[in-house]
Structure 1
Amino acid sequence: MSTSPEHPGAAHPGLFVALEGTDGSGKSTQARALAEALRAAGRDVLLTREPGGSDLGELLRALILDPAHAPVDPRTEALLFAAARSAHVERTLRPALAAGRVVITDRYVDSSIAYQGAVRGLGAPRIAELNAWATDGLVPDLTVLLDAEPETAAGRRTGRERAGGGAPDRMEQETASAHGTLRAAFLARAHQEPARYLVLDAARPPEELTRRIVERVLTAAAR
C-alpha cells in the first residue's frame, strides 16, 4: 500500500514498482524477469511501460519517439511525456493498484526528470512539479535504478541492434551522448529518497539482479 506525500489519503492496496535507468542499463529485461518471477510466485502482476501503457498513451508514444518528428523542442517534448503519463496513471495504473495488483512499469517520472529536466535543460524542479500534477501525486512504492557505466550501456545497445532489436528511436538517437548527465540525474533522485530506491550495478549478472530485485519486491509486498 502506498500514500502520496501530496495526497496522504490516496492509498491503494496494490504495489507499485518502477524500473529506471539509462538506455542500455537492462531495465526492460529486468522488468520482464521480475514480472515472470512474481507470476510464478502466484502474484497478480501488470507489466507496463512508458511512454505508453494505455490506448491513448501508446498513440502518444508513437508520436514522441518517431525520428520523423525530430527535432522536438524541449518544452513540447516534456508536455507530451506528461500527457502520456497522465493517461497511463488514470487509465491503467490506478485501476490496477486499486484492484490489489503488483504493477511494474518500465520508466516513470524519474525518466522525465533525467531526460527533459537534465539533458534538455528544463530543470529538475520544474519537471518534477509538472509530473506531480500529471500523475496526481502517484509515487512508486519502490523504484529500482539500474546504474550502468557508459561502457556497459554502449555494449548492450550495440548488442541489441545486432540481435535485430531495431533502429534507435528518436530519444535514443538524441541522448546517446548524454549518458553521464542522465546517470547523474538518476543517482541524484535516488540520493534524495534512499529508502524508496534500490540502486544496483547494471553490470552484474542478470540472474543476480533479478534475484535481488525479486527479494526486495517481495519484502515490500509483505509490509
Structure 2
Amino acid sequence: MSTDRQRYKGLFISLEGVDGSGKSTQASLLVEDLQFYGYDVVFVREPGGTVLSEQIRSIVLDPQNDSLCDECELLLYEASRAQLVKEVIEPALSSGKVVVCDRFYDSTFAYQSAGRGLEADLVKHANTLGSCGISPDRTLVYMLDPTVALSRATQNSVDRLEAEGVAFQNRVSAGYNQLIQEESHRVKSIDAQGSVEQVHKLTRDCLADLIPQMRELSE
C-alpha cells in the first residue's frame, strides 16, 4: 500500500461531502472496519488534527469571525493542512499506516473555489503547497441534496460555513461534481441518500480494489 506509490508504504483515504452528508459517520465506520482487519489506522479531520490545526479550526468555523476575507480563509485552511501533514499524515504513511482523513484538499477546492469563487488555479496551487505534495490514494465524496444535508447539519449548533445557506452549499456540491468528473481515477461518488448501513456498503465497495477485505465485508 502506498500514497504516491513510490514515496510511502501506507494508504491515504479521504472522505468528502457537503455539511450534513454523513461523511463523518462513514469515516468512523470505515476506521472500525480497518481496525477489525488488523490495519494500523490514523484517523484525522480537517481543519484540525494537531494542537495548532485545532486552534486554526476554531478561527475559521467561529460564526463571530464573519469579517474573515476569502483569501485569509484559504490561507488558514492551508496552514492547518500543512501542519497536519508534516506532524501526523506524512509520518503515519511513512511507517505503513492507513490514514483516514475527514476532509482534505478537495474540500478547499469545493468550498473556497466553487463556493467562494476564488480562482481555481490559485486554489489548486495553494492546495499543492498546503498538502506538501501529498495526495490521497482514494477520495470518497458523499453526494446528498444540499437542502437535505443542510437541514441535518443545522439541527444543533451552526458553524460559520453552515450558516452560508443552501445557495452556497449548492455551489460546493457543484464543485464536488466537477472533481468527480475530472479525477475519476481517484475521486469516487457515493450516493448518500440511503440508510447508514446502505451507504456503508457503498463505501466498502469503493475501496475493495485497494483493500481486498472490504469485498468480503460487502458480500
TM-score (norm 2): 0.90
Cα displacement (A) at 1:179: 2.0
Cα displacement (A) at 1:120: 1.3
Runs of 4+ in 1 over 4 A off after TM superposition: none
1:82 aligns with 2:78: yes
Cα displacement (A) at 1:176: 4.2
Q: Is the 8 A contact 1:113 1:128 kept in 2?
A: yes
Aligned runs of 1:72-221 on 2, under 5 Å? 72-158=68-154, 161=155, 166-221=156-211
1:15 aligns with 2:5: no
Q: Is the 8 A contact 2:3 2:93 kept in 1?
A: no
Task: Determine the structure 1 residue equivalent to 2:67.
Answer: 71
Q: Distance in 2 between matches of 1:117 and 1:212?
A: 28
Task: Determine the structure 2 residue equivalent to 1:2.
Answer: 3
Cα displacement (A) at 1:54: 1.2
Task: Determine the structure 1 residue equivalent to 2:217.
Answer: none
Q: Is the 8 A contact 1:48 1:106 kept in 2?
A: yes
Q: Distance in 2 between matches of 1:218 and 1:91?
A: 29
Cα displacement (A) at 1:182: 0.7
Q: Distance in 2 between matches of 1:203 and 1:99?
A: 36
Q: Is the 8 A contact 2:109 2:175 kept in 1?
A: yes
User: Counterpart of 1:190 in 2: which secondary structure?
Assistant: helix
Segments of 5+ residues of structure 2 without an aligned counterpart are 213-219
Q: Distance in 2 between matches of 1:173 and 1:156?
A: 13
Residues 155-194 of structure 1 show CA distances to partners (whole Å, capped at 9, x for unaligned) of 4225xx2xxxx41111211254312211110110111111
Equivalent of 1:51 in 41, 47, 52:
47
Cα displacement (A) at 1:3: 1.2
Equivalent AA in structure 2 for residue 121 of structure 1:
G
Question: Hey, which of these two has a bigger chunk of helix by percent?
Answer: 1
Q: Distance in 1 between matches of 2:207 and 2:160?
A: 32
Equivalent of 1:34 in 30, 33, 43:
30
What fraction of aligned residue pairs are identical, expressed as a percent? 36
User: Counterpart of 1:113 in 2: which secondary structure?
Assistant: helix
Residues 21-51 of structure 1 show CA distances to partners (whole Å, capped at 9, x for unaligned) of 1001111111111111111121111111000
Cα displacement (A) at 1:105: 0.6
User: Counterpart of 2:38 in 1: which secondary structure?
Assistant: coil
Q: Is the 8 A contact 1:51 1:60 kept in 2?
A: yes
Cα displacement (A) at 1:150: 2.7
